[in-house]
Amino acid sequence: MGTAGSFHSLISLADFKEILGIDDRDDALSRYCLVTATYSIEQYCRRRLLISKLTEIHEYSDDPFVPLKQYPVRKILEAQKYRPWKPVEDIDPELFHCIPQCGVGEDIPFCLEIRPGVVSSPFSVRVRYVAGYKPTDAPADLASACLELAVWNMARFRGKKVGVAGGSGGQRMNGEFLEAKMPERAKELLEPYQRRII
C-alpha cells in the first residue's frame, strides 16, 4: 500500500515523465526525486499522506471519542480492548463507528466513537485502520506540490546545485544530498494539508 507503481510517491512515474517529456534513461533519477519529494511533503505536513495500514494504542479516559492520528480514514479494520499483561478483547463493530464516516472526503481529522461502558480504565484501546490517499485519488494540490518539488530537486541535481548537508539534511544519492528545503509555491499548496488536531 502507499505506492505509485511500487514506490512511495504521490504521483506516478508515468505521469511525471509525460508532464516533463523525459525518457526512460532518467527513470532512476525521476523515481528518486518523486520519492524524496513525497517524504519531504509528509515531513513538512507532519503526517502520512499515502495510504497505509496503521496500528495505534490509546489510553482510555472514559471519553467515548478516540482521536486517530492519520487521516482520511478509509476503513477501521478492528478495535480492541487492550492491556499489556492480558489477552486483547475484540470490540464488536456494532459498538463503535468512525466520525466522519470512513472514506475520502474532506481532509479533516477522524475519531472513533465507542459506545459508553464498552471500555473502562485502566484498559487502552488498540485500533487497526487504513488511512491516507492512493496516488490515483490524491487531491490535486498534493499532486501539484509533489510535482513542483520533484521538478525542483531534479533541476538542482542536474545543475549540480545540490547542497551538501549533514546526515539529517536529506536522502543520500551518489554521495550527495538534496537539501531539505522546498520552493515557496509547494509550501503554499501544502498549507491546507498540515496536521490538524481535534
Residue 166's pLDDT band, with cuts at 50, 70 and 90, is very low
* Amino acid 160: pLDDT: 59
Mean pLDDT of the chain: 84
For 92-122, the pLDDT digits (tens) are 999 999 999 998 777 899 999 998 878 776 7
Cα–Cα distance, 180 to 129 (Å, whole number):
30
pLDDT > 50? residue 173: no
Q: Does residue 49 sit in helix, strand or coil? A: coil
- Cell output for 168: 539529517
* Amino acid 6: pLDDT: 65
Full-model pTM: 0.79
Mean pLDDT of all residues in 51-76 = 92
CA distances from 182 to 16, 62, 123, 172, 189 (A): 18, 43, 43, 17, 11
**Cis ω for the linkage preceding 139 (within 30 of 0):** no
Mean pLDDT of all residues in 62-90 = 91
Spell out the alpha helix ranges (H) of the chain: 13-20, 27-45, 140-158, 184-190
Residue 198's pLDDT band, with cuts at 50, 70 and 90, is low
For 179-192, the pLDDT digits (tens) are 457 788 999 999 99
The four Cα atoms 157, 158, 160, 164 give a dihedral, to 10 degrees, of 10
On the CB side of 89, how many CA atoms lie within 13 Å of its CA? 11
Mean pLDDT of all residues in 2-31 = 84
Q: Provide the β-strand partners of residue 76.
A: 129
Kind and range of the H or E element at 59?
strand 52-59
pLDDT > 50? residue 83: yes
Cα–Cα distance, 123 to 73 (Å, whole number):
24
Cα–Cα distance, 72 to 198 (Å, whole number):
13
Residue 157's pLDDT band, with cuts at 50, 70 and 90, is confident
